[in-house]
Amino acid sequence: MNHTRRAAAAALLVSFLLLLGKFTAYYLTDSKAVLSDALESIINVATAAFLLFSVTIGNQPADRCHPYGHGKIESFSVGLEGGLILLAGIVILIEAIPAFFTPVAPQRLDAGLLILGIAGIINLAFGLHLIRQGEKHKSAALKADGHHLLTDFYTSGGVLIGLIGVKYTGWLWLDPLAACLVAVNILFPGARLLRHATRDLMNEADPALLNKIVTALNRINSSSWHCPHRLRVIRSGTYHHIDLHITVPNYWTQTQGHCVEKEVARALLEAMGEEGDVMIHLDPCRPTCCGCCPMEPCPIRGSGFNQKPPWTLENLVAQSPNCPSGIMVDKG
């Protein structure tokens, strides 16, 4: 079992134990705030189970049916987690709001407070652990579950404050108020997770990753090829797929072009520091390219070299090369 699967299996076990503890606290206290915390723990168990499933499937290599690998299932897992958190927030509000009009005094608060305090500490410690593991192993699903557990920690903290308030003031309305605050608190991270998953599933551009590629290309800037453009990157879990067009002399042989392809692909994968594949499309140069091509000698040059445009992100994602005009040479 690899590191991500071990972390996911541990998350499922911890979530299930915390679920039992919180429902025990609810049974003892009959508190709406504790019920709200326990309901969120049901979501924790469901998402942890799907997390284990997703990292197991996502780590499988590409095959005939999934030529880009299985990593996208992690994005689906993040989206499911966000959606379930939103659902939990709505259910908590439905349970808590009527309690304002028919408040019930919580029972055995000391035992409930102790259980919730222990659960909160466990959520904090394990949530931070999952986030570290997700960053280390490039797993969006592990990071999402870690942030969810941190949200659960804040939830338990809010419930504890509400119950302590009820204990020392006797204000019963603090119990459903704490539950409502818990619901509102988890709606926002749920929406963020859903937005993050949507970005990944829609293959939204990642500026940080694109800037890494820009830096790598500028590092291997060569006079034999120029004007990289039409850059596209798709991420599938920890695997990346890069498409890029570059311009080379139109009189080159296939062997020469292939050597440049390998050089560029190797540089890009090293820059990312992750697994992936790079598809380089070679565009033959045209007369308009002479102004940005310093290659000499060139048997087909039609105009003088002017300047090489900077290889910026804007130029790299452009659909066509940005070639400055050169100085026309009279070839008589």
d(CA 111, CA 117): 10
Task: Check whether residue 166 and residue 291 sit in a common domain.
Answer: no
Answering whether pTM is above 0.85, one says no
Q: Which of the listed residues 145, 177, 201 is the one where a domain comes to its end? A: 201
Q: Which of the listed residues 201, 229, 252 is the one where a domain comes to its end? A: 201
Task: Check whether residue 47 and residue 194 sit in a common domain.
Answer: yes
Residue-level pLDDT at 324: 57
Give the E-state strand segments of the chain in sequence order. 226-236, 239-248, 276-284, 303-304, 327-328
Task: Check whether residue 50 and residue 83 sit in a common domain.
Answer: yes
Pairing of strands 303-304, 226-236: unpaired
Specify the 3-state DSSP secondary structure of 284: strand
CATH code, 94? 1.20.1510.10
C-alpha distances (whole Å) from 317 to each of 191, 244, 249, 263, 266 are: 30, 9, 21, 20, 20
Domain count, the chain: 2
DSSP state of 100: G
CATH code, 248? 3.30.70.1350
**Domain region containing 233:** 207-328
Q: Which of the listed residues 201, 220, 246 is the one where a domain comes to its end? A: 201
Task: Check whether residue 324 and residue 216 sit in a common domain.
Answer: yes
Task: Check whether residue 67 and residue 172 sit in a common domain.
Answer: yes
Task: Check whether residue 181 and residue 227 sit in a common domain.
Answer: no
Task: Check whether residue 279 and residue 150 sit in a common domain.
Answer: no
Task: Check whether residue 92 and residue 153 sit in a common domain.
Answer: yes
Residue-level pLDDT at 329: 37
Task: Check whether residue 195 and residue 279 sit in a common domain.
Answer: no
pLDDT tens over the chain, length 332 residues: 477 888 888 888 988 998 898 888 888 888 877 887 787 788 888 888 888 888 788 777 777 887 777 777 878 878 887 888 888 788 878 877 887 887 777 788 888 888 888 988 998 999 899 899 888 877 777 888 888 788 778 778 878 888 888 888 888 888 888 878 878 877 887 888 888 888 888 877 788 888 888 888 888 777 778 888 888 888 776 678 889 998 888 888 889 889 888 888 888 888 777 677 888 999 888 887 887 887 888 888 878 877 777 788 888 888 777 665 443 333 33
